[in-house]
Amino acid sequence: MMDKRDKVGAAASSPMEMGSRDGDDSSSSSSMRTVETFLRLLPVALCVVALVVMLKNSQTNDFGSVSYSDLGAFKYLVHANGICAGYSLLSAIFAAMPRPSTMSRAWTFFFLDQVLTYMMLAAGAVSTEVLYLAYDGDVAVAWSAACGSFGGFCHKATASVAMTFVVVTCCAALSLLSSYRLFSKYDAPIDYPGKTIEIAAFQG
């Protein structure tokens, strides 16, 4: 009799437990969507600020004039920040929509997040190299430091590059998140303890 009651009690409590689990999953999914939307919106503001700072970066004095457009690395930085701002805004809108995550959507976010991360990392890296040469020069190729004469230009460029690296951090976090969303859809490999792998032995 006690066994029957235990079974009935377990059966009665099962739907409640399942409902509790569904509620926890829904709450976790909503929290993750909020975090993802925030991480996608944050680069929009940072990219726009970095882009505007670099676009307005030019200086003229007794030594001559210099502008961001004179350096290919800085032009690439402007274009990369523009692309990043547009993609981040669009992806934030899609991420905020409470729609089921399909496999194709997960693969799309994963691929584009990876591309954007490496694009922004490359923009920050090449711009940092140019800034290093501008501050310290290169004696081996007789390249003198330019920031002593164009300090304002170098300070604005440094601020723009610094914001770009903050964007890289956000993009890297989004890449990890989209990777988790994608690969969590796949089942773990099934282990067959009774099955052995036969390896062919070749005798010489």
| Domain boundary assignment for the chain | 33-96+107-183
pLDDT digits (tens, 9 = 90+) for 77-106: 999 999 999 999 999 998 888 777 778 888
**pLDDT score at 188:** 59
Cα angle at 59 between 58 and 62, to 5 degrees? 155
pLDDT digits (tens, 9 = 90+) for 61-73: 888 888 999 999 9
pLDDT, mean over the chain: 80
Q: Report which of 121, 122, 115, 126 is spatially closest to residue 157, judged by C-alpha positions.
A: 126
Q: Is the pLDDT of residue 195 over 90?
A: no
Share of the chain above pLDDT 90, in %: 45
pTM of the model: 0.74
pLDDT digits (tens, 9 = 90+) for 2-22: 444 444 444 444 544 444 444
Share of the chain above pLDDT 70, in %: 73
**pLDDT score at 196:** 55
Q: Is the pLDDT of residue 152 over 50?
A: yes
Q: Report which of 105, 95, 81, 94 is spatially closest to residue 35, judged by C-alpha positions.
A: 95
**pLDDT score at 17:** 46
- Quote the tokens at residue 3: 């066994």
